[in-house]
Structure 1
Amino acid sequence: MTTTDLAGVLDFLRAAEAIKTQTRSGYTSAGRAESVADHTWRLCLMAVVLADQFPGIDFARLIRICVVHDLGEAIGGDVPAVNQSAAAPKADSERADLMTLLAPLPAPLRDHVTELWDEYEAAATPEAKLAKALDKLETLLQHTQGANPPGFDYRFNLDYGRQYTAAPPLVAAIRDALDRDTLRRAEGA
């Protein structure tokens, strides 16, 4: 790696730090707004804990996809699913933000991260499908355990990401358990 490449990598890593402070719509169990980095960390932990249950999955690729899936949010922040619009797809602006964030990287690294992000968005490979499913499940899990504010819309989660979490059987079983938890939270709200 050249000195220029190293400088670009460090610039990128400094800019990516912003996901530590970008907040999401959910709250931790302590009542603090969840950060994008908080979400990404537990998504990766879920992949580590569950990967052996999915034979044929390239674990290294799965983790790489999980790590980069929300990097664009370092610039534009998270847009909660309940606030997203078909007229202004989140993926378009998030990809543009990702490209801005990746600009300091040497071209091969920039291309690699972009390919992983695009793979996640397309959800066409087994690894991307599993990453997408775990991403949705992590969000549901956080919403069922977080100290969310009054008026939090738990029932929205009953349909959230369903197309990604209906299969395989373990993903569906986790989804069913989280739906039950969601209903309990909705009834208690």
Structure 2
Amino acid sequence: MDKSVFDKQMDFLLEVDKVKEIYRQTYISDVSRFENDAEHSWHSCVMAVVLSGYFPDADLLKTLKMMLFHDIVEIYAGDTYCYDVEGNKDKEKREKESAEKIYGLLPEGQKKEFMDIWMEFENGDSPEAKFCRILDRVQPTMLNKASGFASWKEHGIKKEQVLERNRTTFEGPEEIKTYMENIIENAVENGFLK
């Protein structure tokens, strides 16, 4: 017997609880442990609400959906550290397969909606995707600074890597660009970035 729409939705909701078990390479601000994907998504959503005035062309509800759903694929694909060259080689394939699996738990209409939102984030072209992608970079950078640049130090990250990773961030609002530039320069001045 086919599952009802509600049963499929509940299966999905239980499965996405696993996002709490996916740990990133970003420390929480007190450096006591790594942040998990659920915390990252929540914190980025709070940032979206607070900073939405800097992104007047982005629909806030759509932005929040995108922030909540873009990392769910890591339940099966795992979190790939943004500076991991080897791990990023097959990231797109792993995440696409994971998206099909996790969103495939939903009724067809919702599967399509969330797959589309995930793909929109990945493509990065819409105002909401640009907003999300900026937040997705500012949030861990902010925590990295708060933790004394622990993650960058542990991984031996270089200034050029951070600048490349944040290329689209610097195309955002001037206030965010300046904020990020100040963090990077602070890290360089104190020897945390070479």
TM over 0.5: yes
For 1:94, the equivalent position in structure 2 comes to 95
Aligned to 2:170: 166
> What is the count of residue pairs matched by the alignment?
188
1:28 is aligned to: 28
CA distance in 2, matches of 1:173, 1:127: 21
Decide which moves more: 57-66 or 158-167: 158-167
Is the 2:82–2:88 contact (alpha carbons within 8 Å) kept by the matching residues of 1?
no
Deviations 1:69-114 (A, max 9, x none): 1110011210101213497242221121121111220000000000
Aligned residue among 145, 155, 160 for 2:158: 155
Identity between Structure 1 and Structure 2 (%): 21
Q: Matched residue of 2:26: which SS?
A: strand
Could you say if the C-alpha distance between residues 185 and 3 of structure 1 is closer, same or farther in structure 2, counting changes exceeding 3 Å? farther
Change (3 A) 1:59 1:87: closer
Query: Unaligned 5+ residue runs, structure 1?
Result: none
RMSD: 2.5
Q: How far apart are residue 9 of structure 1 and its match?
A: 0.7
- Cα distance, 1:187 vs structure 2: 3.9
Q: For the structure 1 residues 185 and 95, does the alpha-carbon distance in structure 2 shift closer, same or farther, using more than 3 Å as the test?
A: farther
Cα displacement (A) at 1:131:
0.7
Distance change in 2, residues 1:85/1:17 (3 Å): same
Counterpart in the other structure of 2:46: 45
Give, in angstroms, the shift of residue 173 of structure 1: 1.9
Check the 8 A contact 1:57/1:127 in 2, yes or no: yes
Q: 1:5 to 1:40 in 2, by over 3 A?
A: same
Distance in 2 separating the partners of 1:9 and 1:66: 19
* Per-residue deviation, residues 119-143 of structure 1 (Å, max 9, x unmatched): 0000011110111111011121121
What's the secondary structure of 1:131's corresponding residue?
helix
Separation in 2 of the partners of 1:182 and 1:39?
Answer: 22
Uncovered stretches (5+) of structure 2, i.e. residues with no partner:
none
User: 1:152 and 1:83, CA in 2 relative to 1: closer, same or farther beyond 3 A?
Assistant: closer
TM-score normalised by L of structure 2 = 0.85
Change beyond 3 A, Cα 1:94–1:160: same
Partner SS state of residue 115, structure 1: helix
CA change 1:144–1:87 in 2 (3 A) is: closer
Counterpart in the other structure of 2:125: 124
3-state DSSP of counterpart to 1:163: coil
